[in-house]
Amino acid sequence: MFNKLKGHVGFLAGGGKAGALIRSHDWSASGLDPVEFWPQPLKTAAGLMLRSRTPVMLAWGPALCLLYNDACLDLLGPKHMSALGQPLLEVWPEARHGLETCTATAGTGKCAFTGNGFFSAGPSGSAPDAHPGPSFSGVPVDAEDGQLAGIYFVLAEPPLPAPLDRGELAVQRNLASQIKAEADLRAILGKYHAVVNALPQIIWSAQPDGFHDYCNQQWHDFTGVPQGATDGDGWTNLFHSEDLKRVLEKWRHCLATGDAYEIEYRLRHCSGQYRWVRGAARPVRNGQGAIIRWIGTFTDIQAQKQAEENLQNSDRRKDEFLAMLAHELRNPLMPIATAADMLARGTLNNAAVMELSRVVERQARHMTQLIDDLLDVSRVTRGLVSLDNKPVDLKAVVADALEQIRPALKSKAHQLDVQLPPGSTRVMGDRLRLVQVLVSVLGNAIKYTPTAGRIALQMVAGEGHWTLRVRDNGIGMSAELVELAFELFTQGERSPDRSQGGLGIGLALVRSLVGLHGGSVRLQSAGAGLGSEVAIQLPRLMQHHEPACNEADDSPPARAPKLLRILVVDDNVDAARLLGMFLGLLGHEVFVRFHPADALECACKAVPDVCLLDIGLPDMDGYALARQLRSMPGMQHVAMAAVTGYSQPRDKKAAIAAGFDAHFAKPVDSHQLKTWLASVVGQDPPAIA
């Protein structure tokens, strides 16, 4: 305790009469606290003042309470004793004008010089010119927070003819310069701190040995720790335990070698969560190349890391999808290739040929569905799908969907329980798309439910909506998979008994299509092995919104078939010949060509009724060929259809612009083609398919 008190008042040692007076003075009645509570800048300035042999005064605090040394006693005269601790203007009221100038200048951080007569040697209230005093220079003294706290007055010129110790005067002026330099340094540091605190970046500094001694406000805002809590090596407490060893090894290496420091790690956020940051630091060197400080930054890269992780997951799902796509396409290709090989042997009877034809047709339809699903996802996710919205009875949608999934349901011997409400169940929507949605959901239930499982389809009415619920007792889903189920290319674990797993795009497409109808989809599962439920909610169409429906069948009677002259142009020889064979079996006269030039020559001679043109042709694409055919004599009104692998909406628009009457995507649906040809035969304006 003694040593502590000695440290408080030790600056008064050797202070002479003034020092003893300051030590014993009752400060409770003044604007200053007791000596032991004085701030360090006041102790330092007072100690320098008391050790001086030339006149030095110190005015401290908002009231500029006066302190002085022994060399000022003659100057003070009768004011001595009563002047100690009193406001400077009460001791020398005549100094007001000069003091205001001095303090204003000192407040800017500059040394303020006064003229003679600032401190009068005469009695209080006398004119300054009657008793001219010495000239002092005032030096600002800052508090620990960098704000102006007092003025250190040093004798500038001797007031009396008696010689003074010029060496002592020089020492005092040097001390004043040091105080000013310290004040300037504190001002610079204050400005530096203000600048770095205004930056959005976390900035820190360390001594050459790695001791952390400064962090800006952004650090404390990010970590939530108080000032000084991470000085030294306290910052290591905020690192993730898995990253700490790596960070320390890197930091020690940089301290030893002077290499730039840069590393990524997880840092505890004020929320309690760990966030990824990038730490970087560069050494600051003096003129001799020695490191005098390290300046570093922290950058929050959590969003970037999350984006990288999402990209990696997306890339992984893409690779898995490509593997699934190859698998799914190989499955139907195998029976098609086998059927082709068996047909080529020419030893099969009619029944076997018909069975192989059905196999090829079924597998080709499956491949077409896979391709259509891919194109649908592309169109939906880019917002390119337009719905043919009409009042639709959900019971009819259910009936269509059940018809499509019945073979798959039968093959796995599942029990299906369907519960539909009585009365009208109408919504406004695209019937084909809604059937597609329900088929996809029911198909998943069938696929991921073991043989002889149970599936329930229930339709219930809600406040302003209908809900279709599909429940199964299948393999279920983990909570993690439920979160991702509506993302593209997401599937549960594939196993050999579920080789027809699809492409992992079904639920993503379902959510998009239902969203276009103003509805929503919810998926839930109690866990692996506990089944799943998908709930599709669609806005209900109220009775007064339903348009009157004419149930009468206004369709025209079927017309007798008529033979056509058809030109088929495709550079894929097999595709062109097979399409020609199919059309020939229908009874039409067919001309097959593989090059646009040959097609033009044939059309000039044969003048066909219908042209079926591929788009990707050599030397001249199908659009240009269509325009040239239209310009030929007698061909202005010929029916033209594009038969192509280009099947996006923009491709249909391009076909219309080129003069085509219909657009068929490969592989061509034979029923659609026959229907269109029938419209041409009936001399109806052919519609774009």
pLDDT in tens, 327-371: 667 767 777 877 787 888 778 888 888 888 887 887 777 777 777
Split at pLDDT 50, 70, 90, the class of 569 is very high
The whole-model pTM stands at 0.40
Sign (positive or negative) of CA dihedral 114, 116, 122, 123: negative
pLDDT recorded at residue 112: 55
Backbone torsions φ then ψ of 134, nearest 5 degrees: -75, 165
What average pLDDT does this structure show over 380-388?
69
Report yes or no: 70 and 57 within 8 Å, Cβ to Cβ.
Answer: no
Split at pLDDT 50, 70, 90, the class of 536 is very high
> Does residue 29 come out as left (phi exceeding 0), alpha (psi in the -120 to 50 range) or beta?
alpha
CA distances from 500 to 328, 366, 504 (A): 7, 11, 11
Instruction: Give me the residue label for tokens 């669609």.
Output: 538
Estimate to the nearest angstrom the gap between the alpha carbon of 308 and the chain centroid: 10
Say whether pLDDT at 490 is over 60: no
- Helices vs. strands in the chain: H and E counts, helices first: 20, 22
Estimate to the nearest angstrom the gap between the alpha carbon of 471 and the chain centroid: 36
Say whether pLDDT at 137 is over 80: no
Instruction: Give me the residue label for tokens 């797993």.
Output: 501
Q: Indicate the helix (H) or strand (E) that contains 444.
A: helix 431-447
* CA atoms of 59 and 573, how far apart (whole Å): 106
pLDDT in tens, 182-235: 566 556 656 666 666 666 788 888 888 888 888 888 888 888 888 777 776 777
277 beta partners: 265, 300
Report yes or no: 538 and 431 within 8 Å, Cβ to Cβ.
Answer: no
Query: Which of 628, 638, 632 lies closest to 596 in space, CA to CA?
Result: 628
Domains in the chain, CATH or no CATH each: 2-192 (3.30.450.20), 199-300 (3.30.450.20), 316-381 (1.10.287.130), 390-544 (3.30.565.10), 565-681 (3.40.50.2300)
pLDDT recorded at residue 122: 46
Sheet holding 261-268, edge to edge: 212-215, 202-206, 291-300, 274-285, 261-268
CA distances from 460 to 395, 403, 419, 455, 512 (A): 12, 21, 9, 16, 22
pLDDT recorded at residue 186: 59
What average pLDDT does this structure show over 465-481?
88
Which amino acid is residue 294, in one-letter code?
W
What average pLDDT does this structure show over 494-509?
52
| CB-based contacts of 492, cutoff 8 Å, min separation 6 | 448, 475, 477, 481
Report yes or no: 277 and 228 within 8 Å, Cβ to Cβ.
Answer: no
Tokens of 557: 């009677």
* CA atoms of 29 and 36, how far apart (whole Å): 16
Q: Kindly give the residue spans of alpha helices, DSSP state H, lying in 346-393.
A: 350-381
CA distances from 76 to 63, 82, 152, 367 (A): 19, 10, 17, 110
Query: Which of 220, 340, 334, 204 lies closest to 280 in space, CA to CA?
Result: 204
Greater confidence (502 vs 233) lies with 233
Q: Apex CA 679: angle with CA 676 and CA 683, to 5°?
A: 145
Say whether pLDDT at 125 is over 70: no
pLDDT in tens, 596-637: 999 999 999 989 999 999 998 989 999 999 999 989 988 888
pLDDT recorded at residue 130: 44
Estimate to the nearest angstrom the gap between the alpha carbon of 250 and the chain centroid: 29
pLDDT recorded at residue 534: 92
Cis geometry, peptide bond prior to residue 132 (ω within 30 degrees of 0): no
Exposed / middle / buried, residue 168 (Cβ in 10 Å: 0-12, 13-18, 19+): middle
* CA atoms of 253 and 258, how far apart (whole Å): 8
Say whether pLDDT at 668 is over 50: yes
Greater confidence (385 vs 176) lies with 385
Note the residue count of the chain: 689
Say whether pLDDT at 99 is over 80: no
What average pLDDT does this structure show over 89-98?
76
Most confident of the following: 117-121, 411-415, 642-646: 411-415
Exposed / middle / buried, residue 287 (Cβ in 10 Å: 0-12, 13-18, 19+): exposed
pLDDT recorded at residue 613: 94
* CA atoms of 276 and 272, how far apart (whole Å): 13
pLDDT recorded at residue 383: 63
Sheet holding 565-569, edge to edge: 589-593, 565-569, 610-613, 639-644, 662-665
pLDDT recorded at residue 562: 67
pLDDT recorded at residue 498: 40
Gyration radius from the chain CA atoms: 47
Find the Cα–Cα–Cα–Cα dihedral 660, 669, 502, 445, rounded to 10°.
120
